[in-house]
Amino acid sequence: MSENSSSATTKISTYLMSIVLIVLALSIVALILAVNFYPSKPDMAIYLLIIGFIAMSLSVYILFQSRKRAARMKIEAPKVMTTIECKKCGFKSVREFQRGDFVFKDLDACQKCDDKMIITAIYKEVKEKEKTYGV
């Protein structure tokens, strides 16, 4: 089921890609024709030049847009950190989250005082700052 659905998604993007590539090819043809027409029919050459440039810029724009969309389609897993503390001596360390960690889980002995260490916090780090909109 999953394979079918993902192939459907790919099919659409291939379809879009082929249209864009055809338009791109036609725009190149228009530009070549413009060069050929220039000595005999300069007016026609200008039209072809305009059409060629517009078609080329549109297809390049769509290509970039679809690349951006594909990049946006990734589910990014945030970096989750685990804080470990020794309640006796106050020794604290932060490491990346490991499956099986939970808040108030007892861990191995403290490096400094040999007392048991516990997980005191598990949180994700959010890098980007929220916009304030000045209100």
Partner 1 sequence: MVMLATMEVLPNLFGGTGDSISQILSMLFYVVFIVFLFYGQRIQMYVMIREVEGSLYKLKYIKEEGRRITIETIKEIGKPQTDPSARVDRYLEYFTISPQSMDPAGIVYKLDHILDVRDTRLKDEVKIMAPASDEVQVNNLENTLEAAMALNFIYKVIRHYYIQGKKTLSLYIIMQLQMILPLVMKEAEAYASALKAFADGQPIGDGAGPLVAAKLMHGYETRKVPKDCVVATVPLEGRTAFIIKAEGPGGNVGKPGDAVKAVIDENEGKVASVIMIDAGLKLEGETVGEVAEGIGAAIGGPGVDQFKIEETVVKYQIPLNAVIVKEDIGDAVSPMRKEISDSADTVIERVKNVILERTKEGDKVIIVGVGNTIGIGQQEKKRNE
Q: Which of 3, 2, 50, 10 is nearest to 27 (CA)?
A: 50
12 makes contact with partner 1 (CB under 8 A): yes
Taking CB under 8 A as the binding criterion, the range among 22-30, 56-64, 68-76, 107-115 that sits at the site for partner 1 is 68-76
Q: Which of residues 16-55 bind partner 1 (CB under 8 A)?
A: 43-44, 46-47
Element (H, E) at 14: helix 2-37
Find the part of the chain contacting partner 1 (CB under 8 A) among 5-13, 24-32, 53-61, 108-116. 5-13
Tally Cβ neighbours within 10 Å of residue 20. 18
Spatial separation of the C-alpha atoms in residues 55 and 26, rounded to whole Å: 8
In sequence order, the 6+-apart residues with CB closer than 8 A to the CB of 126 are: 78
Contacts with partner 1 in 110-129 (CB under 8 A)?
Answer: 121-126
d(CA 10, CA 98): 34
Smallest distance from partner 1 to CB 96, Å: 11
Interface residues with partner 1 (CB under 8 A) are 1-2, 5-6, 9, 12, 43-44, 46-47, 69, 72-73, 75, 77-78, 80, 97, 99-106, 121-126, 130, 133, 135
